[in-house]
Amino acid sequence: MLEKRLAPREDPFPEGRPATLDDLTFLPANLSRLVIDPYREACEIGTRLAGKLELTQPFFVTGFDDAPAAVRTGVAQGLAESGCGFVGRRPIGDSVYWLQLVTENGAAPSPETVAHFHVLGSAFREVTPTHQREGQIQGLVVSSPGILEKAINHAFDAGFDAMLLDGSGHLGASWPELTGAPDLTILRDAIRILRGLNREEEIDLIYFGGARSGTDAAKIIALGCVAVVYGVPMGLAAGGEIDAGELHFSADFTDEDRRLGVVNILKAIASEASMKARCTGKTNLHNLEPEDLRALTLATAEATGIPLAGAR
């Protein structure tokens, strides 16, 4: 028995393992502060994006621009019921907050949307805000850490309200999260640049890329974002199946099936994110901070700027 226990096990973190959200963990509250009473103290998760858009949950959904009409109908019903918004090139439903992705050669900015997010991608160019009515949010989408510094400085100079950090590298394409692991350095570098400018809380950050659960959302918010965008998990909840690196939708699902799938996964995500905040002794999800996290691998510690567990 002793020989069996002394035998070396396979390395769970082999060389070449990419940085992932799975390799971040929360420090339990009783290591640093008094634990809250979960039966008496509520945990708030809502947010106010750019001081203009009130959200009951800090979550958005993307990826359904090119989905079949039947799929979009069910997803729209689920989003409207959950109070979550949609990020895309076109609206998904009349009752759903729409954050329009504005591309250089795409459709013109719409006056109907609550926000215009101009897609820079991986190449910087100067963009002018396109306010078409009072209270409309103006944002930039950045898909490469290499243009972050120029994009952030331009955002302040031009008066943008928010920035969507695209860890997948191809937000707006068909399910880009299926192409590989997200680049978490884009979030790390954005925070470093903002801190260097001493303007960390002057522009809201939203993140897309690889988030699958409420725990992932809590980690991303702890790293410095105010909201998280979900793609593939929502596609799966709406009846999608991954085949050969692509997401296909089953015709066996009804509108009601898709609505329930979206509503239930968003409820689960919200509950799980709230649970993680409570475990760290917080009564507001947005009070999570990098100090509540530790990295389990060197790659993730380097990519996120979070200290390695057990290291000084």
> Which pLDDT does position 38 carry in this prediction?
58
pTM: 0.93
DSSP one-letter code for 287: G
> Which pLDDT does position 13 carry in this prediction?
77
User: Which residues touch 94 (CB under 8 Å, ≥6 apart)?
Assistant: none
Q: Which of 233, 216, 234 is nearest to 225 (CA)?
A: 216
> Which pLDDT does position 14 carry in this prediction?
78
- The amino acid sitting at 250 is S
Question: Is residue 209 within 8 Å of residue 142, measured between CB atoms?
Answer: no
Please calculate the CA angle 177-290-179 and round it to the nearest 5 degrees.
Answer: 10
DSSP one-letter code for 57: S
> Which pLDDT does position 30 carry in this prediction?
61
Strands 53-55, 47-49: pairing is antiparallel
**Side-chain-side CA neighbours of residue 223 (13 Å):** 33
CA distance 296 to 300: 7
- Residue 142 is inside which H or E element, if any? strand 137-142
Q: Which domains does the chain have, with CATH numbers?
A: 25-304 (3.20.20.70)
CA distance 127 to 123: 12
CA distance 181 to 183: 7
pLDDT in tens, the chain (312 residues): 888 888 887 877 778 889 999 999 998 876 555 566 655 677 899 999 999 999 999 999 999 999 999 999 999 999 999 999 999 999 999 999 999 999 999 899 999 999 999 999 999 999 999 999 999 999 999 999 999 999 999 999 999 999 999 999 999 999 999 999 999 999 999 999 999 999 998 999 999 999 999 999 999 999 999 999 999 999 999 999 999 889 999 888 999 999 999 999 999 999 999 999 988 888 999 999 999 999 999 999 999 999 998 877
> Which pLDDT does position 34 carry in this prediction?
55
CA distance 278 to 273: 9
